[in-house]
C-alpha cells in the first residue's frame, strides 16, 4: 500500500485529475453566464445543464479532442485504448461519448483536486499549530482545538492520514476514469470492424511485399550464382567475359539490395510503398539479365505491353521473373523460350525450358514457394495457370502457362 502511494502511478493519476480540474472552469463559467439569475430556479437549472452540455459537445467536436483524450489516457492511466479512426459512420455519437468522458474527467478531477487541497491544508496547518504551542484552528465554520505537548500529538497522526487520503483519492479517481475510458473513448462495434479490416489490408499488403521480396531476391541469387560459375570457368580462357559476368553480378546484387532496403523500410515503418514497382514495361531488362547469366533465351511478345492495367502488368512481371528463376535453377540454360501476348482480352504468359528426365530436382525445389506464389498471383487476378512436364518431338520440357483476364483485374 505504501509503495502504491509513493510510486509514479500516483503522480500520474494526480496529474491526470489536475488536468480535468483545469479544464472545468471555462464550461462552468459559460453555463453560469447563460443561465440568467432572473430566471426561476427550475429554469436556471435546466438552462445551466443545457448550456454546459452544449459547451462540452463543442469542445469534443474537433477530431483532435478525441485523439487527445485517448493519448492522454493511455499515457497517464495506462488504458491501452486504440487510436480513433479518421472516418466514422456516426461522428455525432463519438462526439457525445467524448463530451460525456470530458464531463466525467472534469467532475472526478475537480473532486480529487479539492480533496487534495483540503487534505494538504490540514496536514500542514494542524502540526504547525501544535508545534507553535497549540490553539484553536477555525476553517469553513468549524473550530478544532489543538492542545499543547502530548495533548496535541494526535495532529501528527491526522496529518499522516490526510497525506494517505490524498493518495487514495487520486488512485481511486484514476480507477474510475480508467473504467469509463474504454466505454466512452474505445471503439464501437462498427469501428472495431473497420479497424479489423484495416489490419487485414495491412497484413495482406505485407504478405504481398514479402512475396515480391522472395521473387526478387530469389531471382537475383540464382542469376548471381550462375554468373559466378560462368566467371570461374572463363577466368583463364576469356578474362574479358569473366569481368563482364562479375560486373553483372555487381549490378544485379546492388538492385537486389535496393529492393531489400525498400521492402524492409516499408515493413518497419508500416507505410504503403511509394517507389515505382516493376511491370512488363521492364521485361527487356529482366530478360537481358537472364541472358547475361549465360542462358539461351528466346522472347516473343505480341501487343502493347505498356498499356496493360497496372495490377496485371505488375503481377505478370513477377510471374515471369519467378518462372525464369525456376528455369535457371532446373534447366540446362539452353532453349528457354518466353511468350507474352495480349489476345482477346487476356494476357497470356507461357514459359518453356527443356529438362533432363534423368536429372533429379533438389529437395524442396520442384514444389517450392515459387510455383505456389505464381498460383496465388494468378488466382488473385481470376486467371488460369498450369505447370508441369510435357513431352513432344523436341524432348521433355517444363511448361508454365498463365492466362489473366484484363477486364476483371482488381
- Considering only CA atoms, give the Rg of the chain: 37
Q: Mark whether 313 and 176 lie in a shared domain.
A: no
Q: Mark whether 319 and 387 lie in a shared domain.
A: yes
Q: Look at residue 364 in the predicted model and tell me its pLDDT.
A: 39
Q: Do 338 and 280 form a contact (C-beta atoms < 8 A)?
A: no
Report the CATH number at residue 204. Answer: 1.20.5
Q: Mark whether 369 and 380 lie in a shared domain.
A: yes
Q: How many CB atoms lie within 10 A of CB 293?
A: 25
Q: Among 92, 90, 70, which Cα is nearest to 81's?
A: 70
Q: Look at residue 409 in the predicted model and tell me its pLDDT.
A: 43
Q: Which of 153, 169, 187 is the last residue of a domain?
A: 187
Q: Mark whether 252 and 313 lie in a shared domain.
A: no
Residue pLDDT tens, the chain, 410 long: 455 556 677 888 889 999 999 999 988 888 888 887 888 888 888 888 888 888 888 888 888 888 899 999 999 988 888 888 765 556 788 888 899 999 999 999 999 999 999 998 888 888 888 888 888 887 777 788 888 878 888 888 988 888 888 888 998 999 999 999 999 988 887 777 777 776 777 677 667 666 666 666 776 777 777 778 777 877 878 888 777 777 777 776 766 666 666 566 556 555 545 555 788 888 888 888 888 777 788 999 998 888 888 778 888 888 898 888 888 777 666 788 999 999 888 999 999 988 765 555 443 344 445 677 788 778 877 889 998 888 776 678 888 999 998 875 44
Q: Mark whether 7 and 128 lie in a shared domain.
A: yes
Q: Look at residue 367 in the predicted model and tell me its pLDDT.
A: 45
Q: Look at residue 264 in the predicted model and tell me its pLDDT.
A: 64
Q: Look at residue 1 in the predicted model and tell me its pLDDT.
A: 46
Residue 34, C-alpha cell as written in the block: 447563460
Report the CATH number at residue 388. Answer: 3.30.565.10
Q: Mark whether 379 and 252 lie in a shared domain.
A: no
Q: Look at residue 236 in the predicted model and tell me its pLDDT.
A: 78
Q: Which of 187, 219, 252 is the last residue of a domain?
A: 187
Q: Look at residue 103 in the predicted model and tell me its pLDDT.
A: 92
Q: Mark whether 317 and 345 lie in a shared domain.
A: yes
Q: How many domains does the chain have?
A: 3
Q: How far apart are CA 212 and CA 374, in angstroms?
A: 11
Residue 212, C-alpha cell as written in the block: 515480391
Could you tell me the residue range of the domain that residue 408 belongs to? 278-410
> Using N-to-C axis directions, what is the helix angle for 91-131 and 63-77, rounded to 10°?
40
Q: Which of 243, 275, 307 is the last residue of a domain?
A: 275
Amino acid at each position: 500500500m505504501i509503495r502504491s502511494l509513493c510510486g509514479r502511478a500516483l503522480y500520474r493519476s494526480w496529474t491526470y485529475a489536475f488536468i480535468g480540474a483545469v479544464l472545468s472552469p471555462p464550461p462552468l463559467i459559460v453555463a453560469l453566464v447563460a443561465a440568467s439569475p432572473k430566471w426561476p430556479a427550475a429554469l436556471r437549472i435546466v438552462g445551466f445543464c443545457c448550456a454546459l452540455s452544449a459547451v462540452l459537445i463543442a469542445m469534443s467536436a474537433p477530431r483532435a479532442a478525441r485523439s487527445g483524450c485517448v493519448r492522454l489516457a493511455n499515457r497517464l492511466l495506462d488504458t491501452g485504448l486504440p487510436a480513433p479512426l479518421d472516418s466514422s459512420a456516426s461522428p455525432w455519437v463519438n462526439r457525445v461519448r467524448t463530451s460525456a468522458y470530458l464531463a466525467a474527467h472534469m467532475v472526478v478531477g475537480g473532486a480529487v483536486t479539492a480533496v487534495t487541497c483540503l487534505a494538504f491544508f490540514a496536514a500542514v496547518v494542524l502540526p504547525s499549530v501544535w508545534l507553535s504551542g497549540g490553539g484553536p484552528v477555525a476553517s469553513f465554520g468549524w473550530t478544532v482545538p489543538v492542545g499543547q505537548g502530548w495533548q496535541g500529538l494526535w495532529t501528527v497522526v491526522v496529518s499522516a492520514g490526510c497525506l494517505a487520503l490524498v493518495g487514495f483519492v487520486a488512485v481511486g479517481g484514476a480507477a474510475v476514469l480508467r473504467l469509463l475510458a474504454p466505454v466512452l473513448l474505445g471503439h464501437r462495434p462498427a469501428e472495431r470492424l473497420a479497424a479489423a479490416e484495416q489490419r487485414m489490408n495491412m497484413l495482406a499488403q505485407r504478405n504481398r511485399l514479402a512475396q515480391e521480396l522472395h521473387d526478387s531476391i530469389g531471382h537475383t541469387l540464382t542469376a548471381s550464382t550462375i554468373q559466378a560459375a560462368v566467371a570461374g570457368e572463363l577466368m583463364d580462357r576469356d578474362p574479358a567475359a569473366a569481368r563482364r559476368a562479375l560486373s553483372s553480378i555487381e549490378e544485379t546484387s546492388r538492385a537486389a539490395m535496393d529492393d531489400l532496403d525498400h521492402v524492409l523500410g516499408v515493413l518497419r515503418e508500416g507505410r504503403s510503398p511509394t517507389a515505382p514497382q516493376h511491370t512488363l514495361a521492364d521485361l527487356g531488362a529482366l530478360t537481358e539479365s537472364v541472358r547475361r547469366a549465360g542462358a539461351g533465351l528466346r522472347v516473343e511478345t505480341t501487343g502493347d505491353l505498356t498499356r496493360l492495367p497496372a495490377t496485371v502488368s505488375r503481377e505478370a512481371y513477377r510471374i515471369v521473373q519467378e518462372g525464369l528463376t525456376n528455369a535457371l535453377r532446373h534447366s540446362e540454360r539452353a532453349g528457354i523460350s518466353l511468350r507474352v501476348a495480349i489476345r482477346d482480352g487476356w494476357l497470356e504468359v507461357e514459359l518453356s525450358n527443356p529438362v533432363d528426365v534423368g536429372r533429379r530436382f533438389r529437395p524442396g525445389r520442384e514444389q517450392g514457394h515459387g510455383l505456389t506464389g505464381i498460383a496465388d498471383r494468378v488466382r488473385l487476378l481470376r486467371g488460369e495457370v498450369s505447370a508441369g512436364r510435357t513431352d513432344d518431338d523436341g524432348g521433355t520440357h517444363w511448361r508454365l502457362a498463365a492466362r489473366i483476364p484484363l477486364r476483371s483485374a482488381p
